[in-house]
A = this chain, B = another copy of it.
Amino acid sequence: MLENYGTQNVLTLAKKRKSVRHFSKSSFPIDKVIYTLEVAVQAPSGANRQPWKFIIVDDQITKENIRRMCEEQEKLFHEKVDGNLKSWFKTKNISYNKPFLTEAPLLLAVFSDQRQPYATESTWLAIGYILLSLEEVSLSTLTYTPSYPERVKAIFGVPEYYKLEAIMPIGYSEDSKPKEPRKPLKDSVYRNFWGHPLENL
């Protein structure tokens, strides 16, 4: 049953997919999220250690605790931040408020076992898998990383050698903002040596 989703190609999914900060309160079958985790665990990982753990949070009180904890830390971070990042936050209207942490019907907290080789790299690769498959099942998300993940992760009861990589709110989008623009491919792709253009682009 899980394999019945599809069949848009990967480029279509990747282009349609955008980060979303406003979610409908409408619930959805948890099977959709399980589908994306079935996808995620197929990712390769350093020495095939599969260093990821996922906590699906659908309990409202827990979501509220997570939000409060994150906002406390974000407030500290936003007081300290300056320069480019500060002006980017301002342009994008990003504050220490994280309402999506309680508004989305479900949060997916993602951890990596730091004892394993390339744990963070492997886990983010798996997050890439999750994003594309969420789009496939018409769900939206944001790869939100708390500013001080070490302080936030305690709330999940996680062993000390696990790192909190992201807390992803998941739901149907109610965010009308368009996708952030991407640079043309030729700005990011070279041939054989740094700065040499690939003629086909």
- Taking beta carbons and an 8 Å cutoff, which residues of A are in contact with B? 2-3, 5-15, 17-19, 30-31, 34-35, 37-44, 47-48, 50, 52-59, 62, 85, 88, 117-118, 120-122, 124-129, 131-133, 136, 143, 145, 156-159, 165, 180, 182-183, 185, 188-195, 198, 200-201
User: A58–B190 contact, CB under 8 A?
Assistant: no
User: A11–B3 contact, CB under 8 A?
Assistant: yes
List 20 extra interface pairs beyond A34-B185, A55-B193, A125-B143, CB under 8 A: A2-B11, A3-B11, A7-B9, A11-B39, A14-B129, A37-B188, A41-B185, A48-B180, A50-B182, A56-B189, A85-B117, A124-B124, A125-B128, A128-B131, A128-B132, A129-B132, A132-B132, A156-B193, A157-B194, A157-B195
Q: Is the interface of A mostly helix, strand, loop or mixed?
A: mixed
CB proximity of A191 to chain B, nearest CB, Å: 5
- The 8 Å CB contact of A62, one of B34, B132, B193, is B193
Ordered by A's residue number, 7 sampled pairs between the chains whose C-beta atoms are within 8 Å are A6-B7, A6-B10, A14-B39, A53-B188, A55-B192, A85-B117, A125-B125
CB proximity of A5 to chain B, nearest CB, Å: 5
User: A10–B132 contact, CB under 8 A?
Assistant: yes
CB proximity of A81 to chain B, nearest CB, Å: 10
